[in-house]
């Protein structure tokens, strides 16, 4: 099956710094990628839809200036958490659908654990 | 808006026991329904899906039937194995506005013991 990778797998940073997380589709192209946030023992919450060559679409309540998304190529989307604070500590997961139709399978990255001290 | 409700875990079973994980949904249209599985240390993987009412998705001995009348998509397996220990997520796909937006349930952890 298709593979999606994320880098780094975990990161610890100081409060006030920015952290960039990469999401790559390794063997297929993705015009759209999704970024989720998962809290312990809770569901995945969709943060934003990353669109190749255009602006990301953010879900209600997600600060676009806080979570910068760039989808510069058909295989790479990045999420930058700017001026991170302890409340941003979470597990961030990306996914990419194979194909355009809504019922196609989405492939998920292994996630990135962010801890802000 | 759309929502997915699934039973809380953890669910602990003995090997070869019968498994049911309940999932119900609320959606404005006609969503596709999915079960994803997350093994320890790995990303989510699609386990099975159903795209319309009365469809049955099946994979690796797991199955779930899309029940529009009860808005349910319960996951079942006749005989679980230790290797099935994982977190299972029920999800629906909303096509409103285009795209593949997924709405997830909270996940149910399954522990299978010898």
Q: What is the pLDDT of residue A101?
A: 52
> Which residues in chain A are contacts of B46 at CB distance < 8 A?
105-106
Give the Cα separation of A44 and B33 in Å (integer): 16
Q: What is the pLDDT of residue A100?
A: 59
* B109/chain A closest Cα distance in angstroms: 9
Contact B43 A44 (CB under 8 A): no
**Token duo for residue B43:** 């990303």
* A14/chain B closest Cα distance in angstroms: 25
**Token duo for residue B76:** 């079942």
| Ranges under pLDDT 50 in chain A | none
**Pairing mode, if any, of strands B11-14 and B108-113?**
parallel
Torsion angles phi and psi, residue A65, rounded to 5: -80, -15
- E-strand stretches of chain A: 4-7, 10-13, 19-25, 32-38, 44-51, 57-58, 67-73, 76-81, 90-97, 106-108, 112-116
Q: Which of B36, B43, B48 to mutate to test the interface with A (most CBs of A within 10 A)?
A: B43
**Per residue in B26-44, pLDDT tens?**
998 788 899 999 998 788 8
**Whole-number average pLDDT of chain B:** 91
The answer on pLDDT for B72 being more than 90 is yes
> Which residues in chain B are contacts of A43 at CB distance < 8 A?
4, 89, 104-107
Contact B43 A109 (CB under 8 A): yes
What is the distance, to the nearest Å, from the Cα of residue B64 to the centroid of all Cα atoms in its chain? 8
Q: What is the pLDDT of residue A106?
A: 84
Give the Cα separation of B90 and B93 in Å (integer): 10
Q: Residue window 7-46, chain A: list those with CB within 8 Å of chain B.
A: 32, 34, 41-46
Contact B101 A46 (CB under 8 A): yes
The answer on pLDDT for B8 being more than 90 is no
Q: What is the pLDDT of residue A104?
A: 66
* A95 CB within 8 Å of a chain B CB: yes
CB atoms within 10 A of CB A87: 8
Torsion angles phi and psi, residue A6, rounded to 5: -130, 145
**Token duo for residue B93:** 């796909």
């Amino acid at each position: 099956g298709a593979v999606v990778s994320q880098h780094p797998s975990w990161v610890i940073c100081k409060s006030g710094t920015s952290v960039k997380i990469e999401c790559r589709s390794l063997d297929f192209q993705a015009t759209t990628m999704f970024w989720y946030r998962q809290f312990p023992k809770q569901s995945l919450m969709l943060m934003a839809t990353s669109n190749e060559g255009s602006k990301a679409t953010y879900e209600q309540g997600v600060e676009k200036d806080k979570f910068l998304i760039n989808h510069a190529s058909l295989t790479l989307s990045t999420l930058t958490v700017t001026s991170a604070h302890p409340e941003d500590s979470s597990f961030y997961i990306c996914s990419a659908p194979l194909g355009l139709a809504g019922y196609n399978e989405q492939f998920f990255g292994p996630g990135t654990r962010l801890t802000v001290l | 808006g759309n929502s997915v409700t699934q039973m809380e875990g953890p669910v602990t079973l003995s090997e070869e026991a019968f498994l049911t994980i309940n999932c119900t949904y609320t959606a404005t249209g006609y969503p596709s329904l999915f079960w994803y599985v997350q093994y320890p240390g790995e990303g989510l993987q699609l386990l099975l899906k159903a795209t319309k009412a009365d469809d049955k998705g099946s994979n690796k001995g797991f199955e779930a039937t899309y029940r529009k009348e009860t808005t349910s998509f319960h996951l079942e397996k006749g005989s679980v194995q230790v290797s099935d220990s994982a977190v299972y997520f029920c999800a629906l796909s909303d096509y409103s506005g285009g795209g593949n937006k997924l709405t997830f349930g909270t996940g149910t952890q399954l522990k299978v013991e010898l």
